[in-house]
Amino acid sequence: MIGPGTGVRVYLACGATDMRKGIAGLSAMAQDVLRQKPASGAVFAFRGRRGDRLKLLYWDGQGFCLYYKVLERGRFPWPNTEAGVARLTSAQLAMLWEGIDWRRPDWGAPPARVG
């Protein structure tokens, strides 16, 4: 994915978002719901009701970038709706974009030693 580098702040809008919203509507949500400045350089992630659609809003210094992904199968992992907003690392964002469950990745723990 072409976009923000490592170390960027990432905010998830917990719950479902109307995927008909464009840059203006998502910017308003970032400001009003997530209480963040849309042009701050952070990435704002929004998921649709069915869970198979994801939009990322990002200010690159010259204008807004809007990334949109629809999964053929499965759903994007998402936190519970009670939290309102969640913070992710740039590594967790990369996992989210690929459809990997960033909440509990399997890092391939070393096998247990027997005897």
- 16-58 pLDDT per residue, tens: 899 999 999 999 999 998 999 999 999 999 999 999 999 999 9
Is residue 107 in a domain? no
Number of structural domains found in the chain: 1
pTM (two decimals) = 0.83
The token pair at 11 is 């905010």
Is residue 113 in a domain? no
Per residue in 65-106, pLDDT (tens digit) is: 999 999 999 999 888 766 688 899 888 898 888 888 887 756
Is residue 3 in a domain? no
Q: How many CB atoms lie within 10 A of CB 54?
A: 23
Q: Which of 64, 15, 16 is nearest to 38 (CA)?
A: 64
Give the burial class of 72: count Cβ atoms within 10 A of its Cβ; 0-12 exposed, 13-18 middle, 19 or more buried: exposed
The pLDDT of residue 101 is 84
For the cut 60, the answer to whether the pLDDT of residue 1 exceeds it is no
Q: Which domain holds residue 38?
A: 8-72+83-96
